Every structure is written in C-alpha cells, then in structure tokens.
DNA sequence: AGTACCACCTGACGGC
DNA sequence: TGCCGTCAGGTGGTAC
C-alpha cells in the first residue's frame, strides 16, 4: 500500500537492513520494473557498490550508492521490500534481488509490476524531470493554503496531485478528509480558511500517526476510516453506512453523514 | 485547468 | 466447478 507512510516505512527498513553493506551481486528477475536501464547494466553497477544513505520524496525512495549515484525505487500499488537470508526461498513476486556479502539479501517485490526501479546520477534532476512537488510532510501551511486557493479541482484531487505535493494517494486522502469532516468531492473554490487549516492539520496528524504505526493497517486507530474502508461497513463515529463513489477518477470512501456536501 | 478514459499488469472476488 | 466481469492503494498519455 505504498503511499507516503508506507514508503517512509520501507526507507527505514532499508536503513536497518541494507546500509553500508557491500553488495555481492544483483539479479533482475523481471526487467519490466526497470526504467532506462538494462538488467545487465544494473547488475554490473550495483555489484561491489554499497548504499550509504536513503532519501524519500513523496512515494519515491532514493538509495544513495557510494560510486554510482542513486537507486530510485517506486512501489506502484503492490510493491514492498523484504530482507531475507540467502538460501531461503525468494519472497513472492521478487523482481529485483540484491545480495549482500553478509549472507542476506534484499528483494524488491511487486506483484503487479506497476512500480519502477531506475538508476540516476542526481535525485534532484530526477525530481525536476518528474515535476514532483515538495513532500507532503515538508510543506508549510501558507503553501498549502495557496494551493487550495488557486485550485479549481476537488479537494481529493488536489491532495493526490503529486505536482502540488508528493506522497498522498487514494487511501490517505480519504482518511485526511474523513478526519476533517469534509466531503471528498468538494470543490476547492468552496473551501474557506477554517476548513483549509483543518485539512492541513489532519494531513500532518494522519501521516505522522501512520508512520509511527509503520503504516500497518491493523495498528491504525479504530476511530479512523481506513480500517473500515469497505463498502457496507459502518462509520466508527456515527454508525452510518460508508459510501463509495468515483471522484476525480478514483474510488473515494466516505461517510455521507459526517462528511456533508454542504 | 480539470476530468474522463485507456494503458500498463496480476490476482482476488462475486455472480451466474 | 468454471468462466467472466470488476476491482484494486500507482503513474502517464490522449482527448475533450
């Protein structure tokens, strides 16, 4: 479920498992996840190098290499990292596997192959090329307020707009709006100062809490929408039925009682 | 500018 | 049981 909190959790996981260890070998199991590099090239570049630090912006993870720039990792809808002991069976849907000299390996798993792995010399250039906005946890309130003011889309669409700010996706945008008691299809031109502030605060709180709980759905507060984000389930607050509706092309879940259209 | 629709992929699920 | 349509947390392109 790779949105900002998930990717931040992967970043910390990579820090614990893969940093400052010599890479013995790399093997590409499915080249569809590679962007702008061939399996041979990637395998050659990673061999004998090591990761020195990690960075994240939005849903992109960057792992700095000592010699060869940055490994860029994007998780799509089904990607994750798994550290395992050599000799064990590969994690399911392993697409790229990195062996360290300590007898362990790190797998990039991705069932649906929608994620991407690349190698770039500058992560700033990469971000610029992608037109990626500042990270959702890095922006300040004036920036957010200005964005709402200048936008004529729905609030859900703005929250998920990676050029405006990076990191919030379909699930967490729903959570942020549920906690703000705002209807996801509300047009930004109808959102006043008070609600703008409420949404901004909810965004920070939701992302911070989710990171704290390692983005594990079973550990998220039961008062949140996320554990009940299914058709037919009840709102934890008013016990009304959660509704599903397509908004700006994505399935939005919300409580019609708590999030009135106004 | 914003939205709708399609594409990229695999796999789970419900209806018949 | 088996087949089929639909849906899923990602991005990116095209057409209105």
Question: What's the pLDDT score for residue A232?
Answer: 80
What's the predicted TM-score (pTM) here? Answer: 0.97
Contact criterion met (CB below 8 Å) for A231 and A244: yes
Give the mean model confidence (pLDDT) for residues A171-185.
97
Catalytic annotation on A236? no
Contact criterion met (CB below 8 Å) for A153 and A161: yes
Q: pLDDT tier at A44 (50, 70, 90 boundaries)?
A: very high
- A112 in contact with nucleic chain C (CB within 7 A): yes
The 10s digit of each residue's pLDDT in A140-170 is: 999 999 999 999 999 999 999 999 999 999 9
DSSP A166: B
The 3-state secondary structure of A72-131, one letter per residue:
EEECCCCEEEEEEECCCCCCCCEEEEEEECCCEEEEEEECCCCCEEEEECCHHHHHHHHC
Question: What's the pLDDT score for residue A147?
Answer: 98
- A171 in contact with nucleic chain C (CB within 7 A): yes
* Sheet hosting strand A79-85, strand order edge to edge: A23-28, A94-100, A104-110, A79-85
Q: From the CB of residue A152, how many other CB atoms can be counted at a distance below 10 Å?
A: 9
d(CA A202, CA A195): 10
The 10s digit of each residue's pLDDT in A89-108 is: 999 999 999 999 999 999 99
Question: What's the pLDDT score for residue A124?
Answer: 96
Q: Is the dihedral of CA A168, A172, A175, A179 positive or negative?
A: negative
The 10s digit of each residue's pLDDT in A203-218 is: 999 999 999 999 999 9
Question: What's the pLDDT score for residue A100?
Answer: 98
Q: pLDDT tier at A1 (50, 70, 90 boundaries)?
A: low
Q: A232 to each of A37, A225, A254, how far by Cα in Å?
A: 45, 13, 11
Mean model confidence pLDDT for chain A? 96
Q: Is the dihedral of CA A122, A128, A132, A138 positive or negative?
A: positive
d(CA A200, CA A140): 9
Catalytic annotation on A217? no
- pLDDT over 70 percentage in chain A: 100
Please name the nucleotide lying closest to A188, CA to C1': B2
Catalytic annotation on A2? yes
Bases on strand B under 7 Å from any protein CB: 1-6, 8-11
- Does residue A231 carry a pLDDT above 80? no
Give the mean model confidence (pLDDT) for residues A4-11.
98
Give the mean model confidence (pLDDT) for residues A109-135.
97
Catalytic annotation on A43? no
Q: pLDDT tier at A230 (50, 70, 90 boundaries)?
A: confident
From the CA of A247 to the C1' of B1: give the distance in Å: 17
Q: pLDDT tier at A56 (50, 70, 90 boundaries)?
A: very high
- Give the DSSP H or E segment for A255: none
Residues 6+ apart with CB under 8 A from A98: A18, A23, A25, A26, A46, A105, A106, A107, A108
- Does residue A49 carry a pLDDT above 80? yes
Closest residue by C-alpha to C1' distance, nucleotide C8: A77
Q: pLDDT tier at A190 (50, 70, 90 boundaries)?
A: very high
Q: From the CB of residue A130, how many other CB atoms can be counted at a distance below 10 Å?
A: 16
DSSP A16: H
Which contacts (CB < 8 Å, 24+ apart) does range A234-243 have?
A: none
Q: From the CB of residue A2, how many other CB atoms can be counted at a distance below 10 Å?
A: 23
What tokens appear for A92 in the block?
Answer: 């399911």
Q: pLDDT tier at A262 (50, 70, 90 boundaries)?
A: confident
């Amino acid at each position: 479920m790779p949105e900002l909190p998930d990717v931040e959790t992967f970043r910390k996981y990579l820090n614990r498992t893969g940093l400052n260890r010599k890479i013995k070998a790399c093997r590409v199991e499915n080249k569809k996840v590679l962007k702008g590099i061939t399996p041979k090239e990637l395998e050659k570049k990673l061999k004998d190098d090591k990761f020195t630090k990690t960075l994240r912006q939005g849903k992109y993870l960057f792992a700095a290499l000592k010699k060869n720039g940055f490994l860029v990792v994007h998780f799509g809808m089904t990607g994750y990292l798994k550290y395992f002991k050599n000799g064990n069976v590969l994690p399911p849907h392993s697409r790229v596997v990195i062996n360290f000299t300590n007898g362990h390996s790190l797998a990039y798993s991705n069932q649906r192959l929608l994620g991407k792995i690349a190698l770039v010399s500058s992560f700033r250039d990469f971000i610029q090329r992608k037109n990626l906005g500042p990270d959702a946890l890095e922006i300040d309130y004036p920036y957010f307020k200005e964005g709402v003011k200048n936008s004529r889309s729905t609030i859900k669409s703005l929250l998920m707009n990676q050029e405006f700010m990076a990191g919030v996706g379909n699930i967490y945008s729903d959570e942020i709006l549920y906690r703000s008691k705002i209807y996801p299809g509300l047009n930004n031109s109808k959102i006043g100062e008070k609600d703008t502030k409420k949404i901004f605060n909810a965004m920070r709180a939701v992302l911070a809490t989710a990171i704290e709980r390692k983005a594990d759905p079973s550990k998220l507060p039961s008062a949140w929408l996320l554990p009940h984000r299914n058709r037919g389930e009840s709102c934890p607050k008013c016990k009304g039925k959660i509704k599903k509706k397509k908004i700006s092309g994505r399935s939005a879940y919300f409580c019609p009682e708590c999030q009135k259209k106004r």
